[in-house]
Structure 1
Amino acid sequence: MSVQLQGNTQSLQHIPQGFHCIVLNVGVKDNTKDFVCIFSDVQCNAAGVFTQSRFSGPSVTRSRENIKNGRAQAIVAISKNANVANGEQGEADTRTIIDEVANRLAIQSDDVLIGSTGVIGRPYPMDKILAGVRTLSKASAQSDFINAAHGIMTTDTVPKYASIQVGNAALVGIVKGVGMIEPNMATLLAFFFTDAAIERDVLDAMFRRVINKTLNCVSVDTDTSTSDTATILANGLAGPVDNVAFEAALLDIALYLTKQIARDGEGATKLIEVHVDQARDERQAKKVAKVIVNSPLVKTAIHGADPNWGRIAMAIGKCEDELDILPERTIIRFGSTEVFPRKVSASDLTQLERLLMDDTVYIHVSLQTGDAECTVWGCDLSAEYVKINGEYTT
């Protein structure tokens, strides 16, 4: 079993049966693809996790409600507009879109999930969206998940997708996200589809475990989106699979896509991987790893290939409530090269500078407070990030 790594391929090898994609440009912002509908021939077992933001949009609140019963049959994704902070009108527009899509597909409205991403505080252009929805036809649908990955993009520079075979079943995942990423559950939009038959409770527990190890361990800019949505639909058409093997496959795909999100972070030139081990528990390990990968000073040092390990020490020191973390027990490394407490020579610095010029930079910290560990992913911070976000709505 291996993930079909994507990015330079034009087709997916493993496609789950019974799922169909419709991708449109309805003119939400420009002439790029902005409306995606993926549906199954039959009702699916489903699981989802969503942002914990207090300003979450109606796409989140409605999808959270619809998936409570562990069932779904279709997902709608709208890009370039988050439909957040639009009050009762935003809620009404979301209901209208779901009802119209359900009517076109001849399914129940509460079997439709919706994700929305883009500018906050602007209402949907409902006339354009509904005109597009009313063209939906099952007969025109294709199993083109790569096209769907294009359709959910906003400031992403590349579509992100992957597929894998598990027994007789297939699993495919598509995600989008390069900014406003500090997940408190998952990250922006992430959709997984499989024809494996998996019980609802098992699927939900499995999905949450995988998300916690992958999409919940990525950060670009410390900002939690109002629209974070991650879901999985399993229609069962391929029959049962080994649950352990399926979870391993789901973890492989989610990890691959997590790294793609971090590598494609707005303005990013390098992927940063931070591994913290010998921690008291997983919570402590993740806290320390996140504070390192989120530090603007660490991120800018890595962008400039400056082996300033003191900034990593500074970041760890900000975990002031972790009283069992002691400088005299902490070990900091770039890659496999220890930089603290070992003294770094001039020749070491030259070697480290070359190491930090790679497109992937590894940081390894051992706390010696226990035996737990966690790995997180992020990216460097460049002037391009400021430019992208300084001009975002224009």
Structure 2
Amino acid sequence: MSNFESQPLKYIPKGFQTIVLNIGIKDETKDFVCIHSEVRCCASGVFTQSRFAGPSVNLSRENVKNGHAQAIVAISKNANVANGEQGKLNAQTILNEVSKALSLSNEDILIGSTGVIGRPYPMDKILSPIQELNNIPPLCDFPDAAKGIMTTDTFAKYASTQIGDAVVVGIAKGVGMIEPNMATLLTFFFTDADIDKKNLDLIFRNVMDKTFNCVSIDTDTSTSDTATILANGLAGPVDLTSFEAALLKISKHLVKQIARDGEGATKLIEVHVDQARDYRQAKKVAKMIVNSPLVKTAVHGADPNWGRIAMAIGKCEDEIDINPQKTIIRFGAVEVYPKKLSDIDLAQLEKSLMTEEVQINVSLQTGTSEATVWGCDLSAEYVRINGEYTT
């Protein structure tokens, strides 16, 4: 049985409290989340590399530099990006007000924002509820917090697991504008494990690179991608190898949920590339495949057109050690190249493409490294959702 629980979470880390509100950013759905610890935490964060990174990213990047934080604030339905000096001032004002309301240091608060770009925060709606945070009875409801950071997501994404006496929980949002160039969209992790900031940072970055930096919905890197982790130490020390394995598992769980929930998606695509020269080559080829609109549409239509996969691999023109004569392509376990069409089990091939999770496997035979990435198919619904996004 999986350690990952749907509703409710079975494992909850000690010492964290959640406040989830509707402050009227766009509609009546929840749009403000504050998660804070009873004590100061060791912290790590990775962020978008976009040149249009929003004020939330810049403030959080600066505040987490010292390896500590005590709270995370997230606002959904408004990214507060491309709003000039007013956008910076508004984000800083929110941090200042949360700091006062919860009696925390301003520098110990991180902030994430997600939603429409180019629209300023409706500060008249935001400030009054924030100033009353200390009057709201805090709970510990991570599934509710996951709902509060949703935009066009169709379901909340969260997972938790146990490592000895400690617990790690993660929440995430993201269904579109996803081609992370760091870690991801919005995802926040919380643990009561006692881990020093140096080891926490090393583990977190390694896990993010193997999971959230390996998911792609539409090749578009967001201006607001933020991934953070807070460790308050209240459960005592843990084995670092076991902790990294647990964090990797729940991160993979969240990544697959994000890929499944891609805007308009009907199928999850998992691309595994092995026998590569190194991890970088394996990941590059896998991303090229999962990002191809032609591959995505073929998967959507259950069309076993392996030529589109060959095309995507061929676009890695700098990988001169990739030899078409040695490359092997499979849909699931069914080899489609370089086999002759007459030797392919077409019935099994069709069956593998009709499932909700389609696996594409490529062996490059240039080395011994491997990588896995996740994405989704491309449907007409994706066009409709994004064609009507601001309306």
Structure 1 contact 305–354 (Cα < 8 Å) conserved: no
Identify the residue that residue 344 of structure 1 maps to in structure 2: 341
What is the rounded CA distance, in whole Å, between the counterparts of 2:145 and 2:22 in structure 1?
11
Alpha-carbon distance in structure 2 between the residues aligned to 1:90 and 1:287: 35
2:274 and 2:369 in contact (8 A); partners too: yes
Counterpart in the other structure of 1:167: 164
How far is the alpha carbon of 1:293 from its aligned partner?
0.3
Matched, 1:208 2:202: no
Per-residue deviation at 1:186? 1.0
Q: Tell me by how many angstroms 1:317 deviates.
A: 0.5
The CA distance in 2 between the partners of 1:187 and 1:172, in whole Å, is 16
8 Å contact kept, 2:334–2:344: no
1:269-301 CA-partner distances (Å, limit 9, x unpaired): 000000000111111000000000000000000
Aligned-pair CA distance for 1:354 = 2.1
For residue 4 of structure 2, what is the aligned residue in structure 1?
5
Contact 1:3/1:163 (8 A) holds in 2: no
**2: distance between equivalents of 1:184 and 1:265?**
18
Alignment correspondent of 1:229 = 226
Alignment partner, residue 181 of structure 1: 178
Q: 1:272 aligns with which of 260, 266, 269?
A: 269
Please list, as runs of the form range in 1=range in 2, the aligned pairs for 1:48-127 lying within 5 A after superposition. 48-127=45-124
The match for 1:291 is 288
Return the alpha-carbon distance in structure 1 between the equivalents of residues 153 and 25 of structure 2. 17
User: Which amino acid is the alignment partner of residue 70 of structure 2?
Assistant: Q
Do the aligned residues in 2 keep the contact of 1:288 with 1:316 (CA within 8 Å)?
A: yes
1:149 matched to 2:141? no
TM-score (norm 1): 0.98
Counterpart secondary structure, 2:66:
coil
**Superposition misfits of 4+ residues, deviation over 4 angstroms:** none
Counterpart residue identity of residue 4, structure 2? L
Deviation of the 1:131 alpha carbon: 1.4
Q: Which amino acid aligns with 2:318?
A: D
Letter in 1 for 2:179: E
Q: Does residue 370 in structure 1 map to residue 367 in structure 2?
A: yes
Q: In structure 1, what is the Cα distance between the partners aligned to 2:333 and 2:14?
A: 44
Q: What per-residue deviation string (whole Å, max 9, x for no partner) do you get for residues 167-207 of structure 1? A: 11111100000000001111110000001100000000000
SS of equivalent to 1:210: helix
Report if aligned partners of 1:182, 1:224 keep a CA contact under 8 Å in 2: yes
Mapped to 2, the partners of 1:115 and 1:121 lie a distance apart of 16
299, 302, 313: which is aligned to 1:302? Answer: 299
Structure 2 residue 310 is the aligned partner of structure 1 residue 324? no
SS in 2 for 1:201: helix
Instruction: Tell me how far 1:139 sits from its aligned partner.
Output: 5.5
Residues in 1 aligned to 2:19 and 2:247: alpha-carbon distance in whole angstroms: 24
Of 43, 48, 56, 1:46 maps to 43
1:381: which partner in 2? 378
Q: Is the 8 A contact 1:21 1:142 kept in 2?
A: yes
Distance 1:346 1:32 in 2: 54
Letter paired with 2:3: Q
Q: Deviation at 1:346? A: 8.2
Aligned letter for 2:322?
I
Note the aligned Cα RMSD (angstroms). 1.1
Q: For residues 187-266 of structure 1, what are the structure 2 equivalents within 5 Å?
A: 187-266=184-263
Offset of 1:216 from its aligned partner? Answer: 0.5
Q: Provide the C-alpha distance between the structure 1 equivalents of 2:146 and 2:232, rounded to a whole number of angstroms.
A: 20
Cα shift readout 1:49-104 (whole Å, capped 9, x = no counterpart): 00000000000000000000000000000000000000000000000000100100
CA distance in 2, matches of 1:367, 1:151: 43
Structure 1 residue 351 displacement after superposition: 2.7
Matched AA of 1:180: M
Structure 2's unaligned 5+ residue stretches are none
User: CA separation in 2, counterparts of 1:318 and 1:4?
Assistant: 40
With over 3 angstroms needed to count, the CA separation of the structure-2 counterparts of 1:118 and 1:347, relative to structure 1, is same
With normalisation by structure 2, the TM-score equals 0.98
1:345 Cα shift?
Answer: 2.8
Residues 3 and 350 of structure 1: CA distance in aligned 2, closer, same or farther (over 3 Å): closer
SS at the partner of 2:341?
A: coil
Percent sequence identity is: 71
1:312–1:111 Cα change, 3 Å: same
Counterpart Cα distance in 1 of 2:141 and 2:210: 28
| Segment of structure 1 superposing worse, 273-282 or 138-147 | 138-147
Task: Give the counterpart letter for 1:376 in structure 2.
Answer: V
CA drift of 1:344 comes to: 2.2
Per-residue CA deviations over 1:243-285 (Å, capped at 9, x if unaligned) read 1111111011101001000011000000000000011111100
Counterpart residue identity of residue 72, structure 1: A
Could you tell me which runs of 5 or more consecutive residues in structure 1 were left unpaired when the two chains were aligned.
none
Specify the code of the residue in structure 2 equivalent to 1:333.
R
Tell me the SS of whatever aligns to 2:50: coil
Q: Secondary structure at the match of 1:137?
A: helix
> How far 1:138 sits from its partner (Å)?
6.5
Aligned-pair distance for 1:12?
1.1
CA distance in 1: counterparts of 2:164 and 2:348, whole angstroms: 45
Residue identity opposite 2:290 in structure 1: V
Distance 1:234 1:354 in 2: 44
Deviations 1:365-384 (A, max 9, x none): 00011111100000000000
